[in-house]
Amino acid sequence: MKSVDRCCGFAILAAIGYADAGKNVEQRAVIKMTGNEKTLIAAMSGGVDSSVAAALYLKLGFQVIGVTLKMKTCDNSREKTKSCCGLDDNIQARQVCEKLGITHRFISVREDFADKILKYALDEYQAGRTPNPCVLCNHYLKFGPVLERFAEETGASGIITGHYAVINRDIPEKARLFKGADSEKDQTYFLSALTQKQLNLCHMPLGELSKPEVREIAAKLGLPNAKKQESQDACFGYKGETFALTLCRHFNAQPHKGVFVDESGKIVGKHEGIEFFTIGQRKKLGIALGKPAYVTDIDAKTGRISVSTDPDRLLCDSFSANTMNWLDFEHDSLECEIQTRYRQALQPATVFRQGDKALVKLHKPLGAVTPGQRLAIYKDSQLLGGGWIEKSTS
């Protein structure tokens, strides 16, 4: 199939009478299906995005099988956030599948979620780094071997998701990932650990749509979650607790207490655990220096957190990243754009490829480049690769 992801959204808009569907629909609506290409798995989270994504392919004539991953096990004796155990989401996912008339299955990945995602996040906090569990969750679980095996068992040729990203398949056997049209919703940053094999299985029909358009499609299709409010919470947590504190409680881990020190090394306060702080943090430090203070360094071995009232001390000119996932980076070095956190404006830089590592030299200083966070590399909106930030230099 050639670039189905890029045309699917507009084709279905025309099919359901969406007012602004006149974007080369006459060409994009022609989808040829042969053999097992007719069957796809839809990763159903219970949200409106994954629901509409499944509906798009169903309306185009594909056989769609809905799958929801059960990841979390929570302590029912404590008050949870809405998203913690996903019970409401699971019910919603099943209701949507019933509305669409498609088969729905639950697959438990609780052990993998605890071992590969939650334990990783705790280990990162305890090492003085700030984890990004969503990136690993996409790699290991949402696009991982469990769904790949289920696809093989059901004869499905790929996996539909509701991510806001564009997959271009113009080059045979090579899926290229581009930023979504809705810059506020673009999710390529979180997809930067996906391998070429995983991308070849992916179908992301929402990439050229905006959130309001997706909600309008859901309403036109009569989906029960068309007006469902988006959750901004971590997928694992309790009301009034930070993600780090929830992890410490979950694994019975003792926070690494220590002290705050200023630029001269003078102790200016105590803290309850390095796990609860991140580079660049200004609020809730619990110290008074007469001016706003920023976390500039976290030493996991000593428990010392360095702070400064000078925000320029957060600036860096270059940094390195490890465990690189090179998707489409064929150069020893390249002038491109990078992101070091979600929704950050693209930053001009020169990236040097050094095996499974990258050296990034910024064209202008950047603040709060945080160890443990994700580096994503772009050129002309295409995601070229990603890796884990390890250290920066001023």
Active site residue 248: no
CB distance 1 to 31 below 8 Å: yes
The pLDDT, as a whole number, for residue 229 is 80
Least confident range from 164-168, 170-174, 312-316: namely 170-174
The beta-carbon contacts of 243-247 under 8 Å, at least 24 apart in sequence, are: 243/121, 244/122, 244/125, 244/273, 244/275, 244/276, 245/275, 245/276, 247/118, 247/121, 247/122, 247/125, 247/275
pLDDT at 363 over 50: yes
Domain 254-309 sits in CATH 3.40.50.300: no
The active-site residue, picked from 235, 248, 316, 336, is: 235
**DSSP 8-state symbol, 191:** G
Show me where the domains of the chain are located.
Answer: 4-220, 254-309, 313-393
**CATH match for 4-220 among 2.40.50.140, 3.40.50.880, 3.40.50.620, 1.10.10.410:** 3.40.50.620
245/240: higher pLDDT: 245
Least confident range from 12-26, 228-242, 374-388: namely 12-26
Q: Quick one: tokens of 285? A: 């430090």
The pLDDT, as a whole number, for residue 32 is 40
pLDDT at 84 over 50: no
Sequence-ordered list of residues with C-beta below 8 angstroms from that of 145, at least 6 positions apart, any chain: none
Percent of the chain with pLDDT over 70: 86
The pLDDT, as a whole number, for residue 286 is 92
Q: How confident is the model at residue 74 (pLDDT cuts 50, 70, 90)?
A: low
373/20: higher pLDDT: 373
Q: Please give the average per-residue pLDDT across 340-368, as a whole number.
A: 97
The active-site residue, picked from 85, 137, 202, 316, is: 137
Active site residue 137: yes
221/27: higher pLDDT: 221
pLDDT at 376 over 70: yes
Q: How confident is the model at residue 13 (pLDDT cuts 50, 70, 90)?
A: low
**CATH match for 313-393 among 1.10.3210.10, 2.40.30.170, 2.60.40.10, 2.40.30.10:** 2.40.30.10
pLDDT at 392 over 60: yes
pLDDT at 82 over 50: no
Q: Please give the average per-residue pLDDT across 135-154, as a whole number.
A: 94
Sequence-ordered list of residues with C-beta below 8 angstroms from that of 12, at least 6 positions apart, any chain: 18, 55, 56, 59, 60, 205, 217
pTM: 0.89
Q: How confident is the model at residue 30 (pLDDT cuts 50, 70, 90)?
A: very low
The pLDDT, as a whole number, for residue 61 is 92
Query: Across 4-8, 15-19, 189-193, 390-394, which has the greatest mean pLDDT?
Result: 189-193
259/78: higher pLDDT: 259
